[in-house]
A and B are shown apart, each in its own frame.
Chain A
Amino acid sequence: MKALRDIGLASGAAIVGAAVLVAVFAPLLVPHDPFAQDLSRRLLPPFWMEGAREGHLLGTDQLGRDYLSRLLYGARISMLIGIATTVASGLIGIALGVAGGFFGGRIDDAVLFAITARLSIPLILVALAVVSVVGSSLTVVVMTLGLLLWDRFAVVARVSTMQVRNLDFVAAAWAAGCSRSRIVLREILPNILSPLAVVATLEVALAILLEAALSFLGLGVPPPLPSWGLMIAEGKDYMFFSPWVIMIPGVALFVLVFGINLLGDGLRNLLRTGRVA
């Protein structure tokens, strides 16, 4: 059982690590310019199918762009959106949750109300509305998702803060004359980071999936940026005769999100068996 978990954690870390490396070094790795079109080489199949051409390992899309290059650049978009969204939503959620848990009383009531209000908002619908009003761009997608995905951070940060706040070492810090901000930053925050790290992995995965969904609906990142969701959307008209155009980005998306979730699960088990606080 333990070995199985370790395998999960290791493979999750390997997948995420590989995706990060690919995202960072995409310009060095790609065999072709991911934006260069070549109409004479449209919808070439990948290497394991008949009719594959040298130099296009994963074939080409409907505009003759190299699919491997677009896939690698797509990893950049996915990772960027996943991480940027999680940072933004993490800042909002942790600030709200810690404030509610630490101060209690009316502030906590307000935080709880905000969380409840946020949970009653349908995510995709609001994202769609915002994007259709403001227009779609990478920044808008990150901002919109960042402003929507903070609820789990807030819930976890609030509960963890409430638990830590009442421990004796916090009382000792008060008695030692520490300021409120020192107590929050030095005594409480370091002790609630482990559950928050687990939430962060879940949020990265969720943000990547949401971006793909939005891009598929044509409201995510605008073309010609190679997002995996957009690649699936653009490929859907050709899926009957060239199924790889949606299969390849779909599998990439699945593997990445699966890897992130494995990593999150592994982290959670590691932290649970490790320390109490």
Chain B
Amino acid sequence: MSHNQLTESGRLHHFLSIEGLKRPLLTEIMDRAEQFSSISHQQVKKVPLLRGKTIVNLFFENSTRTRTTFELAAKRLSADVMSLNINTSSASKGESLRDTLHNLEAMHCDMFVVRHNQSGAAEFIAQHVAPHVSVINAGDGCHAHPTQAMLDMFTIRRHKQHFPNLRVAIIGDILHSRVARSQIQALATLGVGEIRVIAPKTLLPTDTKTLGVHVYHDMEAGLKDVDVVITLRLQLERMQGALLPSAREYFQCYGLTERKLSFAKPDAIVMHPGPINRGVEIASAVADGPQSVILEQVTHGIAVRMAIMSMALGSQAELHEATA
């Protein structure tokens, strides 16, 4: 399924989903992020790449880390950035979404970074903005969170180099996780040898196998010999819909403890998109332990988002030349 996120010459215009993107483009994002990550260590943490550009963070759903790292990334690229938190509790959500967009468009922005609680919202916005405006998906419903997936790939590459030799296990609420969907697509695109998901049936989509993963319900079998362990945040409201009996039983069965982690390879890394529920999906000893790269993920988020934003706005110049 092809998204309309690429320009005619195959450059990034929007960044809505990993689906449909080719391996060289994902590699280019990581290579560029590698260059940007050195900037964080400089005295002056800025490059003038996006000077004069206006970026608006449109957050229809709460977020601290994602919004902050997007803001930081934009500022380090010298763009003007503005963040809007929009309450979506009003009855006519679709209406307010379009109206908000049209108002913002009138302000001549160059890029929207969008988070929304509905799957497909970023796609919808990309279809309705003016052609020169880029849209970056910062998470839409249960669908996709592609920048998170790319910073996870970047983190994995830092530690493991070659993707094809890897075994990766993702543990937890796959059904409701936009992070997992994007990670699975990114891992598959990068040629990872084996992608596993570990969860009870209530937290898996009906046709999980169509996502190209091996399904496990047991941690010991699922974690055996894996190189990368990704745990997902468990929303505590999942107890309400009879998906799980209790946080305690979830931790007993699927919480990542040192004992369960010992089934993985000795040099396996532990990742989590955050924020973590200690004692629910992960034990503190593991989250803070030597194999954890969780805080590194947050740091890498800035460089990866700088890479994606600069690539998307870089293709604007290309669009201008094409139309000139």
A binds B: no
